[in-house]
Amino acid sequence: MELNRRRLLGSVALAGAASVAGLTALTSDAVAYQSSTTVGSDPSVRVDWRETYNGTVVDAGDETTDEPALNVGNAHPGDSGTLAFRVTPENDDQAVSASMSLALTANSENGRNEPERSAGDTTTDRGELADALDVAVWYDTGSLGVSGLGGCDGDLDVAETVLVDGSLVDADTALAEGVPLGGDCLDPTSAVCVGISWSLPRSVGNRIQGDSVETSLSFTVEPCDET
């Protein structure tokens, strides 16, 4: 995922396995997903996703991408967006062990212009955007874990399990090592949904001008040992 004032991109890649607490997989969804891709080979999962920007669904054809992406053009303080995705095993007779991670890989200043300096930006080698950007990530299971009450709808509902709700720096701390999707094993007849939201507060000011961040949003797929 790459975010500057023009673009926020989520990328799919294979990564190392993670071992942390799980959740119950869902069997239905309420989002009209715009795009999909396959991660892994044997086993593999299908990742379907939908992007919104300032409350409007972004058409899949607006950007050429084969990966989940949040495409933000000329973002301003007050802008926001979401990325909702669903992970489903593609092997009909095989459960899988799947996880996702979100890691901050760069937080760049890219020089300081006059508005930044006037706003109090004193750093030369570290940007402020990662600290200013509000990010929430949650298991989109529905209110109180009931899939019929907002499950897989891309919105953060009451009592859904929140993985992180803070800055992008906080998201890196919480998710860089990975979190499981569907507990120890994801049944081939089930799916897991996750929501990600971001926003630039109106109060952020000029300190972020020219700053950029880069992150990696990755999925791991492995055979599930059910013994």
pLDDT at 8: 39
The DSSP letter of residue 5 is S
154 neighbors 84 (Cβ within 8 angstroms): yes
Contacts 24+ apart (CB under 8 A), 58-64: 58/34, 59/34, 60/34, 60/35
pLDDT at 195: 92
Q: Out of 79-93, 141-155, 188-202, which region has the weakest mean confidence (pLDDT)? A: 141-155
220 neighbors 15 (Cβ within 8 angstroms): yes
Say which residue, 182 or 144, is predicted with more confidence. Answer: 182
Classify 216 as helix, strand or coil.
strand
Report the mean per-residue pLDDT for the chain: 72
Domain boundaries, the chain: 2-223
pLDDT at 213: 78
* Cα separations in angstroms, 94 against 64, 184, 221, 225: 32, 13, 12, 10
The answer to whether residue 66 scores a pLDDT higher than 60 is no
Instruction: For the chain, give percent helix, strand, coil, nearest 5.
Output: 15, 40, 50
Q: What is the mean pLDDT of residues 66-82?
A: 66
The answer to whether residue 67 scores a pLDDT higher than 70 is no
Dist CA 137 CA 198 (whole Å): 9
30 neighbors 151 (Cβ within 8 angstroms): yes
Say which residue, 30 or 181, is predicted with more confidence. Answer: 181
Look at residues 218, 226, 110 and name the one whose alpha carbon lies nearest to residue 172: 218
pLDDT at 103: 86
Q: What is the mean pLDDT of residues 181-191?
A: 85
Q: Specify the length of the chain in residues.
A: 227
pLDDT at 118: 55
Spell out the residues 6+ positions from residue 51 whose beta carbon is closer than 8 angstroms to its own: 34, 57, 58, 68, 69, 70, 71, 81, 82, 83
Per-residue pLDDT reduced to its tens digit, 104-163: 888 776 656 655 655 555 566 667 788 888 999 999 887 655 555 556 788 888 888 899
Per-residue pLDDT reduced to its tens digit, 18-30: 222 233 333 344 4
> Best-predicted range by mean pLDDT among 99-113, 163-177, 185-199, 211-225?
163-177
Dist CA 202 CA 191 (whole Å): 36
Tokens coding 217: 């949003």
Q: Out of 2-11, 25-34, 140-149, 198-207, which region has the weakest mean confidence (pLDDT)? A: 2-11
The answer to whether residue 93 scores a pLDDT higher than 60 is yes
Tokens coding 60: 């899949």
Percent of the chain with pLDDT over 90: 12
* Cα separations in angstroms, 34 against 7, 47, 61, 122, 226: 19, 11, 9, 42, 33
What is the 3-state secondary structure of 143-154? HHHCCCCCCCCC
Q: Out of 35-49, 82-96, 193-207, which region has the weakest mean confidence (pLDDT)? A: 35-49
pLDDT at 144: 54
